[in-house]
Amino acid sequence: MRIFSVLLKKEFKLISRNRVILIISTLAPILQFLILPMVASYEFKNINLAIIDHDHSSWSSRLINKIKGSGYFIISGYENNFSEALIRMEKNEADVILQIPPGFEKNLVREKEQNLLVAINAINGTKAAIGGNYLGDIIKRFNKELTVEAMPVQGAVISRPNSIPLHRFNPNYNYRMTLVPGILCILVTMIGGFMASLNIVEEKEKGTIEQINVSPISKVAFILSKLIPFLIISNFIFSVGLILTKVIYGIGLQGDLITLYVAINIYILSVLGLGLLISTFANNQYQAIFIMYFLIMIFMLMSGLFTPVESMPDWARFMVHFIPLYYMIDVIRLIMLKGSGLIHILPQLSMMALLAVGLILLAMLNYRKTT
């Protein structure tokens, strides 16, 4: 026990003198918090729209005004024909092209049906889909307006009533709700994963680990002495992040604090376990950084933070179940945004705990005082 406290004391002293850790611990949360969510808005505005109006009727003008008034689009120009508009698109001056055919209003009245051409620069897949959605929405609403206007007054059947969906859990229509908690997890991952791993590898590089291996310190004590400081630091960073989340983004905690901290600590342990495992393989920091970066990058991409896990093919969805970050991002969203309790997230927590224990055990097995 005494030996353990001696070990811990040394770890904390060294960490407090490590300029890099200190700067990162304070800088990273700020950076990620302020910049990332501001950057990562999927609410698209200022989509450049080129319009070709062959009709010049009152209805075509009304539609164009509606589009202008929506706030999503900027009219890049009124072109004379499609090929001219395409040139604009090639030059990246237009993201979307709307072409209204000649005789639009007349034909709509006569034949009750008309087509509009919407061409989207689909290179950016998301923007295309969303831009298409917006435009489709506006056209639909315009369509409805015309339909309602044409109705005789006495409450006839509204042919295709659209139900108004109930939006749960997001009263403020915040577009960043799911992103920010996810970023919190990434933060913790980087600190816990990178720093803990590098810490041990640095001892390997400098040779001080030999001194430890030659002494009667048990490897369990040694590993724990490395885990605990970073567990504490990660908790600290998480807490700061949590406060920033509330203060800057207005995203508060719907669930309870204890559940949240239990969850995040299980996650931190799994990340630390991974960092530890890597440190038993890597001989120097260069290698450790590289391996860690590689793994964390894959985790981030596959965790469901940026793209939905449901749209992955089966083999990918299977693999995702071995990634602790996947569970944590799910869980943090559940607890923070929906107020889920321990009962609701038990399966996720157990998986994470399993992974954490597995990784730490593997690391302990792999670490040898005697080679």
Partner 1 sequence: MTNEPIIEIRELTKKFGNFTAVDHISFEVVKGEIFGFLGANGAGKTTAMRMLCGLSTPTSGEAKVAGYDIKTQTEKVKRMIGYMSQKFSLYDNLTVWENLEFYAGIYGLRKKEIREKGEQLIIQLQLQDSSNKLVGSLPLGWKQKLAFSIAIFHEPAVVFLDEPTGGVDPLTRRQFWEMIYEAAHRGITVFATTHYMDEAEYCDRVCIMVDGRVAALDSPAKLRASFEVSSMDDVFYQLARAATRVE
Partner 2 sequence: MKILFGFIRKEIYHVLRDKWVLLILIFMPIIQILLFGFALSNEVKNNPIAVFDASKDSYSRQLTDKINASRYFDLYANVSSQSEIEELFKSGKIKVALCIPPRFGEAFEGSAPLQPQIILDATDLNISNQINQFLQNIIQSFIKQKKPEVRPTYSIIPEVRMMYNPQLKGAPNFVPGVMAMIMLLVCVLMTSVAIVKEKETGTMEVLLVSPMRPSIIIISKAIPYFILSVINYFIILAMNKYLLDVPVKGSLLLLTAVSFIFILTSLFLGILISHTSQTQQEAMFKSLIGMMLPTVLLSGFMFPIENMPLPLQFLSNIIPSRWYYSIIKNVMIQGSGLEIIWRQFAILGVMCLVLFIASIKKFKVRLE
Judged by CB under 8 A, the chain residues 24 through 43 that form the site for partner 2 are 24, 27-28, 31-32, 35-36, 38-43
Lay out the site mask for partner 2 across 195-214 (x = CB under 8 A, - = otherwise): ---x---x------------
Task: State which amino acid sits at residue 132.
Answer: G
Q: Does 362 bind partner 2 (CB under 8 A)?
A: no
Judged by CB under 8 A, the stretch of 14-22, 71-79, 265-273, 295-303 that binds partner 1 is: 14-22
Instruction: List the interface residues with partner 1, window 352-371 (CB under 8 A).
Output: 369-371
Q: What is the dihedral of CA 163, 166, 167, 172, to 10 degrees?
A: 100
State in angstroms the smallest separation of the CB of 29 from partner 1.
24
Q: Does 246 bind partner 2 (CB under 8 A)?
A: no
Find the radius of gyration of the CA atoms of the chain.
28
Nearer to partner 1 by Cβ, of 15 and 139: the residue is 15
| CA atoms of 126 and 44, how far apart (whole Å) | 10
Residue 145: how many CB atoms within 10 A of its CB? 13
| CA atoms of 360 and 220, how far apart (whole Å) | 10
Q: Does 218 bind partner 1 (CB under 8 A)?
A: yes
| CA atoms of 163 and 246, how far apart (whole Å) | 33
Nearer to partner 1 by Cβ, of 62 and 369: the residue is 369
- With CB under 5 to 8 Å by kind, the binding choice for 228 among partner 2, partner 1, none is none
| Choice from 17, 153, 154, 167 touching partner 2 (CB under 8 A) | 167
Q: Does 145 bind partner 1 (CB under 8 A)?
A: no
The answer to whether 263 touches 332, Cβ cutoff 8 Å, is: yes
The answer to whether 46 touches 74, Cβ cutoff 8 Å, is: yes
Q: Does 20 bind partner 1 (CB under 8 A)?
A: no
How distant is the alpha carbon of residue 359 from its chain centre?
25
Of 281, 283, 265, which Cα lies nearest the Cα of 363? 281
The answer to whether 105 touches 57, Cβ cutoff 8 Å, is: yes
Judged by CB under 8 A, the stretch of 106-114, 124-132, 193-201, 212-220 that binds partner 1 is: 212-220
Q: Are strands 47-53 and 73-78 parallel, antiparallel or unpaired?
A: parallel
Q: If DSSP codes are grouped into helix, strand and coil, which group holds residue 282?
A: coil
Instruction: List the interface residues with partner 2, window 294-313 (CB under 8 A).
Output: 294, 297-298, 301-302, 306-308, 310-313
Q: And the tokens for 49?
A: 């729209």
Lay out the site mask for partner 2 across 75-114 (x = CB under 8 A, - = otherwise): -----------x--xxxx---------------x---xxx
Nearer to partner 2 by Cβ, of 66 and 369: the residue is 66
- H or E stretch covering 50: strand 47-53
> Site residues (CB under 8 A) for partner 1?
2-3, 6-7, 9-10, 13-14, 17-18, 206-208, 210-218, 369-371
